[in-house]
Each structure stands twice: as C-alpha cells, then as structure tokens.
Amino acid sequence: MAHPKPPDTKEKLLNAAGEVFAEKGFRDATVAEICGRADANIAAVNYHFGGKEALYQQTWRHAFAQSIRTHPQDGGVERNAPPEERLRGRVKALVGRIVDENNRDFVIAQMEFANPTGLLAEVMESAMNPLRQKTRSLMRELLGPDATERQATHCEIFLLSMCFHPPLIQRARRRMKGIESPAVIDDLEMFTSNLITFALAGIAAVRDNARLNWDAGAGSTKAAEKAS
C-alpha cells in the first residue's frame, strides 16, 4: 500500500510554513515561499495538505504541540507543591515558551487575535482551553472561597496579560530596529521573578478585598456580589 520511508517533505513544509506564517501572517505568506524554504515543489502544499488553509491550521497545531513539548506547562513543579510554587512554575514555563525565539504558535495567535482569519478559532480554542482551565483552578485556589467569579476572571486575565503582552512588545521593538530598545525582558529569570512577586501580591490584595465582602472597593462602595 506504499508507505515509502517518509521523505519528511511534509515535516519540512510544516516547519517552513511555521516560519513564514509567523513572519508575515496568513494572507501575506505565499505557498511559493513556503515551498521554497522547504526545498519542495510548488505543488507540494496542495498534494500534502490540500491547500493553503489546511496547511495553516495544521501548521499551528504542529507548532503549538512542539512548543508545549519544549516547555512543559508545570515548569517542573510537583503537583502537590503549594499553589504559589505551582503558579511560579506555570508562569516560568509560559513566559519561557513565548519568549523562545523558535516560538511560532504564539506569534501566529497574536496575529489571529489582532486580525482574525477565522481559520484558527476552533483549533486554538480546543488547544488552549485545557491550559486555561488549569490556570483558572489554580487562581481559585489562591483567591480563596470569598472571591467572586468575576474577580477570578479578572485576576486570571491580569496574570495572562503580564505573560503575553511584554513579549509581544519586545518582538515588535526588535523588528523596528530603528529604535535601540531598552529590552523589556533582558533577563528572563529576573523578569518572571518580578512578575510573580507582582502577581502574587495583586492576587492577595484582591483576595483580601473579597474577604471583606467588597467587590474590590473602588470609589463606589458596591454591595457584595458572590459568585453566580
């Protein structure tokens, strides 16, 4: 039935496609360039994947899987470690994964968020949901029982924001080489360290507010709103 030793053209295409899509986005990437970088014929994409769109989806999946494999999500922290340590592990892993120069999936995901093609919606959702669920339950653990669902949502997005946004800015700065960059993340260890300090204190503060039954006391003192 012909399963000739895979000449890994498919693999080469996935890697080349990762590069090109990450550099130019879906629309500006050309199959010609992808095939060029993969040392493959121009027809290879259609033969192996059936078209540019299918290649795009499989490329993201491939890149994400590889990226997760390289940077295990728990950051090497035991499952039964205290939540603060587990958070530290996850953040280290996440930031490390994003800052990795070989990362493709995050870069592509950013483009997709800013200017969606719609092709990755399901793929990304299904791939990222499990990760987000874990972050969420960890956050609930740290926030304690008094925090509202909304507060948990906010803290979760605050944390992820601090992991996602700085690398984005860093990449952008590098591309516009005109500006000698102060380098947002010049020492990853120190960056994540400050990030954890900042985040744990932030979470604690929100938790303390919750314990006092304020929904984060602003100028307007609103009555408590317990989880839905």
CA distances from 114 to 64, 168, 179 (A): 18, 12, 23
Q: Residue 8: helix, strand or coil by DSSP?
A: coil
Are 221 and 214 contacting, i.e. CB atoms less than 8 angstroms apart?
Answer: yes
Q: Of the two residues 39 and 149, which places its CB atom closer to a second copy in the complex?
A: 149
CA 80 to chain centre: 24
Interface of this chain with a second copy, residues 110 to 139, rule: CB under 8 A: 110-116, 118, 121-122, 125
Side chain identity, residue 145: P
Interface with DNA includes 6 (CB under 7 A)?
Answer: yes
The one among 51, 82, 145, 217 contacting DNA by CB under 7 A: 51
Give me 56's structure tokens: 């795009």
Q: Is 86 in the site for DNA (CB under 7 A)?
A: no
Q: What is the DSSP string of 184-219?
A: TTS-HHHHHHHHHHHHHHHHHHHHHHHHTT-SS--S
Place of tokens 């499952």: 79
Q: What is the DSSP-derived secondary structure letter of residue 148?
A: -
Q: Which is nearer to DNA, 2 or 114 (CB)?
A: 2
What is the pattern of x (binds DNA, CB under 7 A) and - over residues 8-27?
Answer: -x------------------
Smallest separation (angstroms) from DNA to the CB of 67: 24
Interface positions with a second copy (CB under 8 A): 24-25, 27-28, 107, 110-116, 118, 121-122, 125, 150-151, 153-155, 157-158, 160-162, 164-166, 168-169, 172, 175-176, 178-179, 182, 184, 186-187, 189-206, 209, 215-218, 220, 222
Interface positions with DNA (CB under 7 A): 1-7, 9, 29-32, 40-48, 51-53
